Structures are given as structure tokens and as C-alpha cells.
């Protein structure tokens, strides 16, 4: 029997991780985080499919395709977290569990980061734990899929 798959989705500028703002986002690259999450998922018996895009429509298309292809979604929407009702609507149309993930704690930063339009359509949110958040997000997803 084939293993379930979970979409690990990253939004704009997260491809720059490790190259700038290490005080906020750490020194690990996006590939490092994907490798951490992939190993954690493997231990739980599911596979991850990772995608990063700087383009809102690409992210929305991936969420739509997840309706057919994936059991759950772990998503760090980047700054779209705070503005994209289109990503909100796409996630609302996904029937499985959605884990919202942030490296930093947006609530402890600038006031405009305190609103997430993704949180209302996420099963739960993990923020502020840096790279460790990937393990927490995968553990949460495993519990939700069990
Ligand atoms: O803390 C997070 O994970 C965020 O989703 C990161 C977003 C930010 O807009 C959210 O408020 C919180 C920004 C990602 C930008 O990442 C960069 C990485 C390195 C250099 C520049 C930007």
C-alpha cells in the first residue's frame, strides 16, 4: 500500500533563507529545513512533497492539486500570510489537515504581521520555534492523519 503524502509549501522570499536576516530566520537554508521535515515525516510513515514559490498563483494551483494528490498541507505562506485572501480561500477548499508554520513569531514583530488570514483556515499554527518548528509541524500532521 502506498504511503500518504503531505504538501510542504513555502511562499515568497523563503528561498533566501540562510543568506540574509539570520538573527530573525536563522542560518539554515530552505533545503536544510526540507531535509529535516522529510526525515521526520519518513519516521512517521508518510512522504513530503516540497514546493516553494514567489508567485501567489503557483501556490494556489499547488493547493488545488493537493485536493487530489495529498492528505495534508504544511504551509509557510511568507508575507502572503498577512494579505492573501486568495490563499485563504484555496486552503478553505482543502478537506484535509492544514498546519500553518512560521520560523519567527509574527505576533512578536511589527503590528502588520499580527494578522494572519491563513490561521482561520488552518487546523493549527506553529510559530516562533525556528527550524525546530518543522519537526513540530510534522509531528502535528502525523497526529492529525492518524
Ligand atoms: O516567520 C516566518 O516564517 C514568516 O512567515 C517569514 C515571512 C514573513 O513575512 C512572515 O511575517 C513570517 C518572510 C520570509 C522572508 O524570508 C527571508 C529570508 C531570508 C532573507 C530575507 C527574507
Supply the range of the domain harboring residue 83. Answer: 5-145
33 Cβ closer than 6 Å to some ligand 1 atom: no
Question: Residue 7: what pLDDT?
Answer: 98
Question: Residue 35: what pLDDT?
Answer: 98
27 pLDDT more than 80: yes
Helix (H, G, I), strand (E, B) or coil at 96: coil
* Best residue among 79, 105, 122 to mutate for probing ligand 1, ranked by most atoms within 8 Å of CB: 79
Could you tell me the maximum CA-CA distance found in the chain, to the nearest angstrom?
A: 47
CATH number of the domain that residue 75 is part of: 3.40.50.9100
Residue 70, class by beta-carbon neighbours within 10 Å (0-12 exposed, 13-18 middle, 19+ buried)?
A: buried
Closest residue (by CA) to atom 7 of ligand 1? Answer: 78
- Tell me how many domains the chain contains: 1
Question: Residue 20: what pLDDT?
Answer: 87
1 pLDDT more than 80: no
> For 94-140, how does the pLDDT look when each residue is reduced to its tens digit (9 = 90+)?
999 999 999 999 999 999 999 999 999 999 999 999 999 999 999 99
**Structure letter (DSSP) for residue 55:** -
> For 30-56, how does the pLDDT look when each residue is reduced to its tens digit (9 = 90+)?
999 999 999 999 999 999 999 999 999
Amino acid at each position: 500500500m502506498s504511503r500518504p503524502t503531505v504538501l510542504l509549501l513555502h511562499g515568497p522570499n523563503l528561498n533566501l533563507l540562510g543568506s540574509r536576516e539570520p538573527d530573525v530566520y536563522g542560518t539554515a537554508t530552505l533545503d536544510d529545513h526540507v531535509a529535516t521535515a522529510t526525515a521526520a515525516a519518513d519516521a512517521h510513515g508518510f512522504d513530503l512533497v516540497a514546493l516553494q514559490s514567489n508567485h501567489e498563483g503557483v501556490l494556489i494551483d499547488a493547493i488545488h492539486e493537493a485536493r487530489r494528490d495529498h492528505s495534508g498541507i504544511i504551509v509557510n505562506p511568507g508575507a502572503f500570510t498577512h494579505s492573501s485572501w486568495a490563499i485563504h480561500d484555496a486552503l478553505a477548499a482543502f478537506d484535509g489537515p492544514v498546519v500553518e508554520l512560521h520560523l519567527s513569531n509574527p505576533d512578536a514583530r511589527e503590528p502588520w504581521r499580527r494578522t494572519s488570514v491563513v490561521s482561520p483556515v488552518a487546523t493549527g499554527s506553529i510559530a516562533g520555534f525556528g527550524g525546530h518548528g518543522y519537526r513540530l509541524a510534522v509531528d502535528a500532521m502525523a497526529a492529525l492523519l492518524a
